[in-house]
Amino acid sequence: MLYDILIAPFADFAFMRRALVGSIALALAGSPLGVFLILRRMSLTGDAMSHAILPGAAIGYLVAGLSLWPMTIAGLAAGLIVAVGSGVVARATILREDASLAAFYLISLALGVTLISLRGSNIDLLHVLFGSVLALDDATLILLAGIASLTLAGLALLYRALVIETVDPGFLASTGRAGGPTQMAFLGLVVLNLVGGFQALGTLLAVGMMMLPAASARLIARDITSMLAIAAAFGIASSYIGLVVSFYASLPSGPFIILVAGGFYVGALVFGRAGGLLRNLKPKRHLEA
């Protein structure tokens, strides 16, 4: 009975297996990045960057249709241009980085939708915005696996600098010039994962896999290592549960995966040991943090 419910959909249907593997790859790589975004108070940066890749994906679509590599390469280029451009504007003008990033992503979102509308249908627009996790092919899985491997290797190399800059950015700045390159490399990994997530979940939902498990982990754990592990676990669990339930309930898989991640977040918001509502309502002992 349990086999028929929990295992059979993946054993019997190749598209379900591809969807699960692709979603797990996104969870393993994107959720840890989300933890650092939250700790560095850059949560909205992920959302802004997910919109920023849209005009690049639209240009790739205009050139080659719904083809994997043209949309991926063009989306990556657009995301990097917005990331670097907003940083340059923030340093060269009186605008802060959040304001310049907001301006760039709003322009990018409007431009991307306009470009897709020039040639495509509403179905094409929905595909780009919300993805189709059940339609992943082998080439897309290879891309997602490559992005996940590169991201995990990059995080391993940047981990020490990222942690130091997150906890005490002034210290890293005083000991060398690693802060700037670390920030740009980190943003590059964020853009890369959003481009990969766009292939499965679309530009509007890709950031959900990155941020919701990370926000849940932040409410449960206090040290960064535990947050990274919990975020990845929540992302994987959301992928599996979302695919199984959506399969039997005939619901859209991508949005339901994000809804399950949202359910984990609500649970952590209420019961989280590190900052949930129940913990904050509980009377604290004298000198207890």
* Mean pLDDT, the chain cut into blocks of 10 residues (289 residues total): 86 93 93 92 78 82 79 86 80 77 81 77 67 85 92 93 79 62 85 84 81 94 93 96 94 91 95 83 60
132 part of a folded domain: yes
Structural tokens at position 226: 């535990």
Nearest to 86 by CA among 74, 94, 73, 97: 97
What's the pLDDT score for residue 78?
Answer: 87
288 part of a folded domain: no
127: number of Cβ within 10 Å = 17
One-letter amino acid for residue 273 of the chain:
R
Distances from the Cα of 274 to the Cαs of 6, 8, 32, 232, in angstroms? 32, 37, 18, 18
8 Å CB contact between 9 and 243: yes
Range of the domain at 100: 2-281
What's the pLDDT score for residue 81?
Answer: 85
How far, in Å, CA of 45 to CA of 102, rounded?
A: 9
174 part of a folded domain: yes
How far, in Å, CA of 213 to CA of 103, rounded?
A: 27
Question: 168-221, pLDDT tens digit by residue?
Answer: 766 665 666 666 788 888 888 998 898 888 877 877 678 889 999 999 999 999
77 part of a folded domain: yes
287 part of a folded domain: no
At CB < 8 A and 24+ separation, what contacts does 251-259 make?
A: 252/130, 253/19, 253/133, 253/134, 254/130, 254/131, 254/132, 254/133, 254/200, 254/201, 254/202, 254/205, 255/130, 255/205, 257/23, 257/133, 257/201, 257/209, 258/201, 258/205, 258/208, 258/209, 258/212
Q: What's the number of domains the chain is made of?
A: 1
227 part of a folded domain: yes
Q: What is the CATH number of the domain that holds 218?
A: 1.10.3470.10
Task: Rounding to the nearest 10 degrees, give the CA dihedral for residues 248, 145, 187, 197.
Answer: -30
184 part of a folded domain: yes
How far, in Å, CA of 276 to CA of 280, rounded?
A: 6
96 part of a folded domain: yes
Distances from the Cα of 9 to the Cαs of 194, 199, 243, in angstroms? 27, 22, 9
Question: 40-60, pLDDT tens digit by residue?
Answer: 888 777 777 877 888 888 888
